[in-house]
Structure 1
């Protein structure tokens, strides 16, 4: 089963248009370096990238420079505002935006760092963000407006985080497995949509097929790997280690075909929508609505349908559920499929929220997924929802006072503080701990 899944995705990636599969997110960089010879830059394995936007609109033809580790290079932003500079080695670089190349009327946001220091952290790519004037929350603006904007953005981020967290919580509740490969299921949804959209499919159809592909991956994972391990009596620690290995394998297979650059989904650059004094991007608002509808539907299914009741029974006591006539293996298979569907949808929305698709985007969000699940209560679906929303809101609201690079650290800190006083999580039961 797993071999069939791998063959299917490999065929999809190989047959995708070359410009979509391998091309960088930005126009080719004009780079010079005293050490490498001419043309060597194309073979560099590491890259620094980002997307330049003003009021939700891309800003093309702006010069970005990077220097450090004996290297100097520059590029210009593409029509989508994306840019990439390939560098020879991991290390620390100074990345500078040439303000003289900004369009008339466009300026850096007050307090924005330029140049920025970028350091690689055991990854093949690093990001640099240059916030531009209008539409960017900056220190010194009206605190009430800032707070309202960040609350809406945080609710949107928290709900899309909940899509992945709820799937992870369902899997943990029914099997006891802490699945470290769940982040790659998130990545898979965004990557599949990127390639399907690159084949010329309408956006809605590409998204629907990518979500179905995510559900298929969950089904085949359980059928080909997790169910055989359960039948052999493998311990949860051993299965968790298998999930770590699976995560690494899938991540770098995706990188092999997708590449290390950040790519954009169709419509990634959306206009700003004004809601009174509050400004929010159209993609963020759509993400909020879609996530809320899907989570509401999932809640209805869990509470009001026979399948939902069977799922909760298996999560509470698998042996008793089996004795009551419930097909435990079938319920677990459905849970894996639903978890894959939700993770793929979360990956697509995450790619629009960032914006951008990368081979390790699931790895970047995995700690926040675990934070939401742990904060809400391990194994409790509604706890994962509550915990994810709290994490999402805290992440976005904290940017009013913290640098954007530190916002994820604050989310993990609040999780630690809460668990010191309530180790079972917000909605978790005390007997689940230990």
Structure 2
């Protein structure tokens, strides 16, 4: 399901600027919605990219980690009656813990036994199915609407944004910037890039490769969980919410370049904008096709992706 710009009429206290013409009423809302949707995809995609970079595993369960964050918010805001900001924070913490447990109980034992990449991918598919149907069993098949305001909070021309459209975007940008700074300025970020470049050489230079991979799983799942909460704020939450956007997540990673976090961000923004703008010209059922066509065209010209390296063509 795709984030759309269609919102209820602005509330009386909404901040409103001057209306625009035909272009502003149709193209501008789609572009803004595409950027917001792309930022959410970027949060989810960075985890996939970093996990691939450090382990060479394409994790097909990552979409269900996004769903996990949405259901953390459902429990937090429903049963515990917590505010939306607390649900986001809780999803980040619980999501990180879930990633740590996954690596400790499943992925590290498999790495110790030197299981190949293809069997690991099959395991991730199995984990995806287990999580997906566990969600359906626990929460049911119906869509769940989180208790956040749907009133327009900021109106600029034909663009009407709810409060959590704006706050969610700011949270996504803050987490993306923090991740970028962590990867480029901190010792653990430099160690992560070293493991992604050459695990054997990184281990020989004294880097604890398993510890770095554990950090990547923890951080990647935490970001995916936050993406799940933000996605649930923009649309309804369901047992297969993450699975429905998994193809777009992989498209973002491949388009931007396998194994590079910055590439995942660039790819996600392109995919998000393409999916939303295409709704002006195509039926809803063909929105995702536009994004995939763009990915194919880019890969025909540059197989490693926009910011990827030739040795990581995948």
Per the normalisation by structure 2, the TM-score is 0.91
Residues 243 and 371 (structure 1 numbering): CA distance in 2 closer, same or farther, change over 3 Å?
same
1:157-306 matched pairs, under 5 angstroms: 157-199=37-79, 200-267=81-148, 269-306=150-187
* Partner secondary structure for residue 179 of structure 1: coil
Paired position in structure 2 for 1:409: 289
Contact 1:219 1:336 in 2 (8 A): yes
Q: CA deviation at 1:197?
A: 1.3
Q: CA deviation at 1:412?
A: 1.2
More helix by share: 2
Q: CA deviation at 1:342?
A: 0.3
Question: Deviations along 1:307-347, whole A, 9 cap, x unmatched?
Answer: 11010000000111111111110010000000110000000
Residue 422 of structure 1 pairs with residue 293 of structure 2? no
Contact 1:268 1:352 in 2 (8 A): no
Residue 56 of structure 1 pairs with residue 7 of structure 2? yes
Q: CA deviation at 1:277?
A: 4.8
Q: CA deviation at 1:351?
A: 0.9
Q: CA deviation at 1:144?
A: 4.1
Please, which of 245, 248, 260 is the counterpart of residue 365 of structure 1? 245
Find the aligned partners of 2:296 and 2:128 in 1 and give their Cα distance: 25
Question: Deviations along 1:149-182, whole A, 9 cap, x unmatched?
Answer: 2111111110110000001100000011110000
Per the normalisation by structure 1, the TM-score is 0.66
Paired position in structure 1 for 2:13: none
Paired position in structure 2 for 1:89: none
Paired position in structure 2 for 1:350: 231
* Partner secondary structure for residue 90 of structure 2: helix
Find the aligned partners of 1:331 and 1:268 in 2 and give their Cα distance: 40
* Partner secondary structure for residue 167 of structure 2: helix
* Partner secondary structure for residue 274 of structure 1: strand
Find the aligned partners of 1:287 and 1:405 in 2 and give their Cα distance: 26
Superposition RMSD in Å: 1.9
Q: CA deviation at 1:268?
A: 5.2
Question: Deviations along 1:131-154, whole A, 9 cap, x unmatched?
Answer: xxxxxxxxxx71244222211111
Q: CA deviation at 1:285?
A: 2.2
Give unmatched runs, 5+ long, in structure 1.
1-49, 59-140
Find the aligned partners of 1:55 and 1:323 in 2 and give their Cα distance: 55
- State the structure with more CA Rg: 1
Please, which of 336, 355, 368 is the counterpart of residue 217 of structure 2? 336
Residues 295 and 258 (structure 1 numbering): CA distance in 2 closer, same or farther, change over 3 Å?
same
Contact 2:5 2:29 in 1 (8 A): no
Find the aligned partners of 1:217 and 1:291 in 2 and give their Cα distance: 20
Q: CA deviation at 1:236?
A: 0.3
Contact 1:185 1:362 in 2 (8 A): yes
Find the aligned partners of 1:222 and 1:318 in 2 and give their Cα distance: 17
Find the aligned partners of 1:227 and 1:432 in 2 and give their Cα distance: 23
More strand by share: 1
Contact 2:5 2:30 in 1 (8 A): no
Paired position in structure 1 for 2:270: 390
* Partner secondary structure for residue 280 of structure 1: strand
* Partner secondary structure for residue 273 of structure 1: strand
Contact 2:24 2:157 in 1 (8 A): no
1:79-228 matched pairs, under 5 angstroms: 142-199=22-79, 200-228=81-109
